[in-house]
Structure 1
């Protein structure tokens, strides 16, 4: 286990002087439970520090292995060093690094197999931040636990002491969807309003400012007609119902897709340049992905590890470009410096590209890829994939 929270957050990499922390992925290629949803087992691969793969060991895996005991997964999330699963019965299981309490079991003890998140049932969605987590219950309320040092639990206070078991976020009702990443959180209400709270060093709260954290859920300015959110490490995307995408936050690697690169965050939503017909979005450490309705994928931002999938390593792309050798995609996800897609044509496989130093691409090697490679899993049909720090999870 990492010895300090500072050491953990430093693992995100540096966005200039912007303080950001490692990502969760609950808002990526994972659907919330729905009527008729078929339960799924789960697999994991990549780094296994602190048991984040959930297979009962701390041994790294370069190809997918089963997460112990998970046979009815409805949704997955991945934090910095932990995994979390919503089961079909509305309860939660979590495993891996538990410093600051993201596993929600009342302790800060790591465990390498899934354990019960205390006191929650009737959960319909889960979202994983760096070292905090959110749960949406059937009654439209939101519950939070873990680190609160930036006010990311939405409790109205910034507290250096973690919350080790779930507590209700006050004042939040009629919530339709939740999102978490790094040290901030977001909620979409039934009326389409999007609220944000927590760390605002990169302007991700979308309130027109950056640098001042806010522990109170506050509306993101200028959003309407929003279908979903992708919360990234220092930047955010919003997919509108008309198939266009808005972005805000850090832009020092062109991750906002506006045709510019700037060391100054952009704290208000504005359109991603030239992007239409989008069906899904995903955000990584310093890059972004958009799945278009025609099954092609666009990428932009940092390409130092090949995470844009354009066939070369290095450089930035400040406007969306097409991921090569990938067609007929049906979902996208992003890890730190990695990208993933699911295929319409073969639902048994995962496509992956980008950094692979811990085996997080899952192709049996530790060789980074600037073009998509195909990963075979033991799953009958891959329904979801999410990624954290050097590891990935899939259910199907």
Structure 2
């Protein structure tokens, strides 16, 4: 299909280009419970260009494409809108646009979209309030936490377990401020089914919400031990990472060691047994290298995953291939490594699905998107609806971004040619891009286009080719052309716009020296103001 997408790109591997805006670190999220609705899972990828793609379960419109039909291939959300953060709950989605506005879609039965009482569910992104200073967003089971630029946290949705953090055990259909202790600033936040974990700027661990299985980590358990405001867990100040799962928790300290607590049926990476009511060292995972940008921890439903400098470790259930080792249904209580080289960039798990981005080597410019696990609603995203995939399956499209998106060459005399302008075409997708042709409509004879650099070879991910264009006007007056890229990218055509003014070179004497309208002659038809 044809398309041109105007995009500015930075390499995700510590390399950057000098473009007009700062590209994003790609982000992947998984929503869906897999408990009460075994088909429920929807996935998102936020690409470096700020475009948002989604697929999977869509019964409540949580994909956000304007339908309530499951999607087994990624679809672009909200056209060419640019986003900077996204989070997925058990049936809802919340995201922040590049302008700082907050949006939600999907299930709103508990008010988790923050839209008040007007909607039970929506299947298109719908703005939440009018503020434009949102910077981060997190989605729990049926609630949402969002962070503003001033560091304040706001919550909405199900609050029966105190997960809104405002001192109450009631739900709210509009954002309410989390009661953060005076002098405390949270730099990391993670939402589980009904509890929240956070790390302060001083490295302290805080938690609030449901505590049925001790997932708060304060030594208590039971519904009567839920916590309705952020509570410090222990007195240590060396916490670096946290991830909240279904009813269990992970935390990583500055030395890279993993601590686990809460529900203990196999997702803690240790011998299953009674719930752990306080953070407990897990000796089965090697210390994580926190100096690496490729180190991640993620807690799901009955599984956990960790990236250690790009190496993938995973544990828990495997009834639907969640471990990705091809050995379903045999699960693992202890972390197992399922790769042969440190190629993973980031990873996420939720419900019964795992999604990850990896690169071929530590310094490669190529990056690819992979999913595995349950596929009954098309969650894998490869166009199938098989029961499950038990090994990582590559998905995703190539994508095009062109910079600059338009160019005015100014005024050029008919006998002259402008200086050459270079337009860079970037592949910002997840597969190699093949460009077959550049189609020109409009005043095509006025522009000299050299696109051989883009047509000779496939363009790998995060790579570019260049198109050179000169303006050589054949006629006087305003000249313009629209240039579309014919490629195997996934979106409909848009256009690169080029324009200029052709100025005729004629010998005309006007007396008296006034503008008498148009000067006419053989091959000449122009206002006298642009005729010589």
TM-score, shorter chain, exceeding 0.5: yes
In structure 2, the CA distance between the partners of 1:274 and 1:228, relative to structure 1 (3 Å rule), is closer
Match of 1:41 among 51, 66, 82: 51
Superposition TM-score, scaled by structure 1 size: 0.82
Deviation, structure 1 residue 206: 0.9
What is the distance in 1 between the residues matched to 2:99 and 2:429?
21
* Alignment correspondent of 1:313: 328
What is the distance in 2 between the residues matched to 1:25 and 1:234?
21
* Alignment correspondent of 1:349: 368
1:75 aligns with 2:85: yes
Contact 1:201 1:213 in 2 (8 A): yes
Deviation, structure 1 residue 348: 5.2
* Alignment correspondent of 1:174: 185
* Alignment correspondent of 2:106: 96
* Alignment correspondent of 1:55: 65
1:337 aligns with 2:352: yes
1:128 aligns with 2:127: no
Which structure 2 residues correspond to residues 234-383 of structure 1 after superposition, within 5 A?
Answer: 234-253=247-266, 255-258=267-270, 260-262=271-273, 264-272=274-282, 273-278=284-289, 279-293=295-309, 295-324=310-339, 327-345=342-360, 347=366, 349-367=368-386, 368-377=388-397, 379=399, 380-381=428-429
| Stretch moving more, 274-283 or 89-98 | 274-283
What is the distance in 1 between the residues matched to 2:341 and 2:129?
41
Q: Comparing both chains, which one has the higher relative contact order based on Cα–Cα distances under 8 Å and sequence gaps of 6 or more? A: 1
In structure 2, the CA distance between the partners of 1:45 and 1:286, relative to structure 1 (3 Å rule), is same
Q: For residues 145-200 of structure 1, give each alpha carbon's deviation from its aligned partner in whole angstroms, at most 9, with x where no partner exists.
A: 111111110111212xx311111112344222222121112222111112111111
Contact 1:297 1:323 in 2 (8 A): yes
* Alignment correspondent of 1:205: 216
Q: For residues 251-274 of structure 1, give each alpha carbon's deviation from its aligned partner in whole angstroms, at most 9, with x where no partner exists.
A: 112x1113x111x21121122224
When the two chains are superposed, the root-mean-square deviation of aligned CA atoms in Å is: 2.5
What is the distance in 2 between the residues matched to 1:39 and 1:324?
28
Gaps of 5+ in 2: 1-31, 290-294, 400-427, 431-532
In structure 2, the CA distance between the partners of 1:95 and 1:106, relative to structure 1 (3 Å rule), is same
| Stretch moving more, 42-51 or 277-286 | 277-286
What is the distance in 2 between the residues matched to 1:310 and 1:289?
13
Q: Any idea what SS the aligned residue of 1:53 has?
A: coil
What is the distance in 2 between the residues matched to 1:192 and 1:123?
23
In structure 2, the CA distance between the partners of 1:78 and 1:378, relative to structure 1 (3 Å rule), is farther
| Stretch moving more, 364-373 or 93-102 | 364-373
Spell out structure 1 runs of 4+ moving beyond 4 A.
22-26, 324-327
Gaps of 5+ in 1: 1-9, 15-21, 31-36, 383-396
In structure 2, the CA distance between the partners of 1:331 and 1:325, relative to structure 1 (3 Å rule), is same
Deviation, structure 1 residue 38: 5.7
Match of 2:246 among 223, 233, 253: 233
Match of 2:202 among 171, 178, 191: 191
What is the distance in 2 between the residues matched to 1:48 and 1:378?
24
What is the distance in 1 between the residues matched to 2:49 and 2:126?
18
| Stretch moving more, 71-80 or 275-284 | 275-284
Deviation, structure 1 residue 94: 0.9
Match of 1:109 among 84, 100, 120: 120
Larger-Rg structure? 2
Q: How many residues align?
A: 352
In structure 2, the CA distance between the partners of 1:23 and 1:63, relative to structure 1 (3 Å rule), is closer
